Amino acid sequence: MSIKIFYGSDRESMMRAAKRALGDDYEVVEAENIEISDMDSIFRGVSLFDDGSGRKILIKDLNTKVECFEKLPEYADTSFKVIVVCDKLNKTFAYVKSVLSCKAIESEEFTTTEEKTRDKFENLKPFQDAYAGRGADAVRKLRKIEARSAPQLIVGTMAGQCIKLIDVKNKKAVQALKIIAQADMMTKSSGITDIWMPVEWALLEIAKI
């Protein structure tokens, strides 16, 4: 069926969402009880819990077992409904990038209201610096927030800010928006190995306008 990853600091909301998605009679697996050799039986094995409609599994904190978490893309074709719940993920780690960039795995971040407000403010800073011509500063600020954000989110924030600046006389904002659109397409390309590269490129190009 599918693998979904719910992660973030708002554990309560995350667990409510997981329970709604799984419904009744699901299995709960704690990461501390999982070894790499257990992955096949979890994602492809049979269970007494299976009533014929397919297994439903909630896996808690799999990111604490890096060797297991990084294997998730290999099981993206599972016939079961699996939800993995984790605390905050460091998106600068290569194995986290690899898992979250797998198109066959859905992911959703759950953050508190306070964090959303802070992150929204921090996510604006790289674009503001780039638009003011400070490309190096923009990239430095981007790298500070990479661990708790996502390229698509930053691109969306940049586009939103740019649209606010557009008017008949503001050709700079129009050019910037075209660059952001190119970056958006690049983030969706399967050929991109560094998921943050398109955003850095866009910031530096905008700073040159």
Task: Kindly state the percentage of the chain with pLDDT values over 90.
Answer: 67
d(CA 112, CA 129): 27
- The residue extents of the domains of the chain are 2-111, 114-208
Task: Kindly state the percentage of the chain with pLDDT values over 70.
Answer: 96
What would the mean pLDDT of 51-77 be, rounded to a whole number? 90
Looking at residue 147, its pLDDT comes to 82
User: Are 149 and 97 a contacting pair, CB within 8 Å?
Assistant: no
Alpha helices in 47-170 (DSSP H): 66-69, 94-100, 113-131, 135-145, 151-165
Could you please report the per-residue DSSP string of 81-111? EEEEEES---TTSHHHHHHHT-TTEEEEEE-
Count CB-CB contacts under 10 A for residue 39. 19
What would the mean pLDDT of 53-70 be, rounded to a whole number? 93
- The two structure tokens encoding residue 148: 């708790």
pTM, 2 dp: 0.64
SS3 content of the chain, % helix, strand, coil (to 5): 55, 15, 30
The CATH code of the domain at 114-208 is: 1.20.272.10
Right CATH for 2-111 from 3.40.50.720, 3.40.140.10, 2.40.390.10, 3.40.50.300: 3.40.50.300
Reduced to 3 states (helix: H, G, I; strand: E, B; else coil), residue 50 is: coil
Residue type, 139: V
Read off the pLDDT of residues 151-183 as tens digits, 9 standing for 90 and up.
888 999 999 999 999 876 778 999 999 999 999
Count CB-CB contacts under 10 A for residue 155. 22
d(CA 121, CA 30): 35
Read off the pLDDT of residues 87-139 as tens digits, 9 standing for 90 and up.
989 887 889 989 998 989 999 999 888 887 888 899 999 999 999 999 999 99
